[in-house]
Amino acid sequence: MVEAARAALSCVPEPRWHRDATLTLIDYGRPSTERRLWTVALADGRLLFHEHVAHGSGTGENHARSFSNVPGSRQSSLGLFKTADTYYGRNGYSLRLDGLDPGVNHLARERAIVIHGAPYVSEETIGQLGRLGRSWGCPAVHSRFVRAFIDRIAGGSYVFAYHPSESRPASCERGRSRQ
């Protein structure tokens, strides 16, 4: 996963890293019952967050199996995203994501794929259902830490969503849809 993230980042033309830049990795190859989201400070490699993250209801039950870029699919998307602005919506404090991989996740804005908090991303839900609850394709996190998490990664950091079944090398020739 780390090598795939490095390859994806290498395709970003002249990334603009700010002093507090982060990289968030999501490993959808792990079951939802495991903490499968990591955020690392790029300046010094410190681990800032290691948390649970939900996947879309169309992606699978405990294990993520199917991914999409199609509006209405309720499936999670893979690939490299850049964090954008925050807003308050139906799910409270949320963070818009711009998909950078044409054909893979470039419709993230149109699909309203955002990071938001959700009560179904909890140990309690795992105890009740044997898995996390599921979103409509968003990488939803626990409501207790969503504000600190979003505030730390908003405004130009990168998020890389990975699954081993889709672990093809980044193709820089395809280009990135946005920086």
Chain segment 113-128, per-residue pLDDT in tens: 999 999 999 999 999 9
Nearest to 35 by CA among 145, 148, 178: 145
Q: pTM for this one?
A: 0.90
Domains, the chain, with CATH or none: 2-170 (2.40.440.10)
Four-point Cα dihedral 167, 171, 177, 179, nearest 10: 90
Say what the pLDDT of residue 176 is.
47
Phi then psi for 110, rounded to 5 degrees?
-60, -35
- Reading the chain (179 residues) residue by residue, the pLDDT tens digits are 777 787 777 777 655 666 678 999 999 999 999 999 999 998 888 999 999 999 999 999 999 999 999 999 999 999 999 999 999 999 999 999 999 999 999 999 999 999 999 999 999 999 999 999 999 999 999 999 999 999 999 998 999 999 998 755 455 554 444 44
CA distance 166 to 89: 31
CA dist., res. 32 & res. 66, Å (int): 14
Mode of pairing for the β-strands spanning 92-99 and 37-41: unpaired
pLDDT recorded at residue 42: 85
Yes or no: say if 179 and 13 are a contact pair by the CB < 8 Å rule. yes
- Separation between Cα atoms, residue 177 and residue 107, nearest integer Å: 10
pLDDT of residue 6: 77
For residue 179, what pLDDT is reported?
Answer: 43
Residue-level pLDDT at 33: 98
The dihedral sign for the CA sequence 70, 84, 22, 8: positive
Using only the alpha carbons of the chain, give its radius of gyration: 15
